Structures are given as structure tokens and as C-alpha cells.
Structure 1
Amino acid sequence: MLSVDLWLWSLEEADEHLDHFGKDLSVDELRRADRFVKSSDRSMYIVGRAGLRRILADYIGLDAKAVEFEYGPHGKPFLQNGPGFNLSHSGGRAALAVCSHAHPGLDIELVRPIEDAVARHHFSPVEYAELSCLQPSDWLQGFFRCWTRKEAVLKSLGHGLYMPLDSFDVTLSPDVPPRLTRIEDDDPLRWTLTHFEPAPGWVGALALRDTGGPVELRWRSGDPIVRAYSRRSRK
């Protein structure tokens, strides 16, 4: 069974602590942080990126600032000699999947109101038809089950928006196991999708290719990592 560590932490941190988070970021990351227009977006980016570095540093035995990322053709970060990982964030929370033997794709979303036109525009005809058959009370959950699974697949591949969302199908009904049922130029049976709920009101999905069997999620808590920065700030 393939094991995947799943880390969760809050991105909401007091402004007076941000300098201590920022000390672990690279020059390029700090420049990107300064390009955010909203201060809340800037602070969550800094806390999220610092948490990412801090967690991965523990896996590879380096200081957080010494972690060096490589980037794929579409901008997906990876470690040259480290585990596969993928970061997602929504609604002031971050989630990080780490796996030593595969390249995970991860997405979490805070459930919020969505117009039907979003599903009609982005989902495949098969997915939209399945979503439309759900009871109105389950429509929103069904939308986010579909959305997170599709985003997780794209993030595993590292394609981002370069691969159309309607070029593959995933299941989304509550009584149907999460599966990839169609994908262009690939075999859907090579994929494993896992549904999870990181917190009440959130929906998440993990996508892995060529796992060779079931996937086990090992829940970790990122809060101690965040608190470590807070303790440093008080010294």
C-alpha cells in the first residue's frame, strides 16, 4: 500500500509574525509576495510557502531556507532529490501531500455558492449530466467533488490550465467511489483518486498515477510548525 502524508495548517497569522515566516523564503518568493495587491493574500502566501519549506526541510534534512525547488515546464515545483509533493490552499487553510514514491496531485476547496454556469462551462458533458441528476441539496457537494478531483489530476500531471478540464471524466455522485473514468491519451485505470474532507465545510481530493494498489492517507498537523515561528517571534 502506498502511503501519502497529508499536512494541514492555517494560513491566518498575525502580521507581526510575518517577518519570521519570511526569513525562510527565497528572494524570488519574497518578490512574488510583494506583488500581491491585498495584504491578506500576501500574508497567506508567505505563511503557506514558509510552511511548505519547513515541512519539506524535515524530510530532506535541510534548513527551510536551503530547500531548492526545480520547476517543470508549466511551473510545477519539485525537489531534485526529495519526495514528491503538492500544495493546495483555500479558505485560509493549506494542505500539503508528500509521497516518497509518487508525484501526488492535491486540491482542497472551501464549499461556497457556485453558479450552474461554472459547471456547464468547465465540466465534461458526462460530468455535467451526472451533476444535474443529483438532488438540489447535494448539488454543491457534487460540484466540489468533481472540481477537486479534476484539479488534483491536473496538478499531478503538472499541466495546470494547459489541459482542458473537459478532456477527462471523474465520478462525483456521493454513492460512487472516486474514479477517473476517461482521459485522453492515457489509461484511466492507471489512476487512483481519493476523496477526503480536511475540515467541516471543505472538500479535498488526491490523485496519483501508477500506484500499483490502494493509497493510505497519513494525517499530519502543520499547526506545530506554524507555532514554532510564533515561538521564535517571541524570543
Structure 2
Amino acid sequence: MNNIPCLWLPAPQNLHLSSSDVHIWKINLKQSELQIQALKETLSSDEIARSERFYFPEHRQRFIVGRGSLRLILGGYLNVEPIEIEFDYHQRGKPFLAPKFLDSRLFFNISHSQDLGLLGVSYQQLIGVDVEYMRPMSDLENLAQRFFLAQEYEIIKSLNSVEKQQVFFRYWTCKEAYLKATGDGLVKLENIGIDLTPTQPAQLLVVGNWQLQELIPADNFAAAVVVANNHNNFQFWQA
């Protein structure tokens, strides 16, 4: 599988995006109580209320670290304090920068699975990111039959158990990254065509000028980024 080699570098002091740059940030969602509290202090009142609705403490902590890290990173691009960031939300809940930051022309998307978060940031280009921990699933074929195209389901069925799991999550992350970029959500998952094999990189079979890139952010994780432009320059930062 031909994925971009991800060399995760410490973030530079001055964050800058050109029209062809795409920055991918890897976020460790497992942090100390001290760091969690510091990040919580950057959140808005509605974000704090949302965090408190999580039943399990680890889910609450992951939300706080993810949203706090998002604010911290975007603050670096916008040259404002994290607590000053304001968000609006699309109909399906995808956050975007409030109108006061419209001149920045920044687009972003964040995804997390287990203790790993991925954030994509682009300039003027719609972007979608998805990451999934590749866990064993007893109903994998049923999900593939429900959410994938017929030919994709047949490919899943033909593979051995190890390849079946890997290819399923590759399909899933590629499709979801595209739908997160467009804002359509999972309701159209079965309409997005992906051409891939266990040994070949995925290609997005949709109309328009979109770039799909698969990533391997960590062992046992699948991830994909979709950007509304081709020939992007990807850079990888460690939050």
C-alpha cells in the first residue's frame, strides 16, 4: 500500500499555510490531569457542558483534550489566544470558524479514535479527515454490505480475515473523509466509490477535483484525508 510516509515533526513557531499546503496534526488524547485542566480552561461554556454529558471519564477527557488542542493549534494560525476562537456548526455538526475569522480562509477538520486524534488544516480548500482504530469486528461483512458498493462488498468477502479487516477500515476512512469534507455525513456513505486493493493506494471515484490521501498515523490505525484540490503539499506536525 503506497501511503505518504508520515514524519511527525515538532510544530514550527510561526505557522503559515500557502494555497497548496495541507497540515496534518497528530494529537495524543491521553494527557495528565494537569494538562487536561489547562486545556479545559480554553473551552467555551457550551463545550464544557458538552464534555460533562459524557458518561465515561476517558471519553470526557478525550473530548477536552481534542477540543482544547484544536483551539491551541488554530490559535497559532490566527495569532489569537485559544479561548478567543469561536465556532459555528454545519447542519450535521461539523465545526467551522465563526464569521469574525472569515478573512483567515482557514478550513479544518478533526477526527479521533481511541487515544489518537488527527487534525487537518488547509487554506481556502475544503478538507475532511478520518482516523479509525482497526479493531476486530464480528459484523464486518454485514456493515460492508450495508454501507459499501456491491463491488466493494465483493472484494471484502474475497479476502482473508487479516486483509478483510484492513481493507474494510481503509474503505471506511476514505469514504468518511470525503463526506466530512463535503459536510454530507454518513447518510451517503454507500454512494461514494473507492477503488483500492490490499497492495494499491485508494482512488476516489467521485466527480470533481478532490485529492484523497491515505495515512498510517500509528500501528493498527487507518486514516485518510480528502482535500478539494489536487497537488497539495502535505506536512505533518506533532501537537
TM-score range, shorter chain: 0.7 to 0.9
- State the match for 2:175 in structure 1: 150
**Number of equivalenced pairs:** 214
Contact 2:194/2:204 (CA < 8 Å) preserved in 1? Answer: yes
Give the TM-score, by structure 2 length: 0.84
Q: Which stretch has the larger CA shift, 129-138 or 61-70?
A: 129-138
Aligned-pair CA distance for 1:16: 4.1
Contact 1:131/1:173 (CA < 8 Å) preserved in 2? Answer: no
Question: 1:137-157: per-residue Cα shift (whole Å, max 9, x none)?
Answer: 311110111000011011001
1:127 is the counterpart of 2:152: yes
Contact 1:156/1:208 (CA < 8 Å) preserved in 2? Answer: yes
Counterpart AA for 1:19: Q
Question: 1:199-233: per-residue Cα shift (whole Å, max 9, x none)?
Answer: 11111100122x1x3223201010xxxxxxxxxxx
Segments of structure 1 that go 5 or more residues without pairing to the other structure are 223-235
- State the match for 2:56 in structure 1: 38
Contact 2:179/2:188 (CA < 8 Å) preserved in 1? Answer: no
Contact 2:174/2:224 (CA < 8 Å) preserved in 1? Answer: yes
Segments of structure 2 that go 5 or more residues without pairing to the other structure are 1-18
Instruction: Quote the Cα distance in structure 1 between the aligned partners of 2:34 and 2:81.
Output: 22
Contact 1:146/1:170 (CA < 8 Å) preserved in 2? Answer: yes
Instruction: Quote the Cα distance in structure 2 between the aligned partners of 1:216 and 1:134.
Output: 34
Identity of aligned residues (%): 32
Structure 2 matches for 1:36-185, cutoff 5 A? 36-79=54-97, 80=99, 81=102, 82=104, 83-114=106-137, 115=139, 116-161=141-186, 163-182=187-206
Give the TM-score, by structure 1 length: 0.86
Question: 1:109-165: per-residue Cα shift (whole Å, max 9, x none)?
Answer: 11111222121222121211222233433111101110000110110011223x321
Instruction: Quote the Cα distance in structure 1 between the aligned partners of 2:108 and 2:95.
Output: 9
Instruction: Quote the Cα distance in structure 2 between the aligned partners of 1:194 and 1:66.
Output: 32
Aligned to 1:102, what secondary structure does the other structure show?
coil
Aligned to 1:179, what secondary structure does the other structure show?
strand
Question: 1:10-63: per-residue Cα shift (whole Å, max 9, x none)?
Answer: 111223443211110000000000111111110110011000000000001100
CA RMSD of aligned residues (A): 1.6
Aligned-pair CA distance for 1:173: 1.3
Counterpart AA for 2:26: L
Question: 1:182-209: per-residue Cα shift (whole Å, max 9, x none)?
Answer: 4xxxx1x522110110011111100122
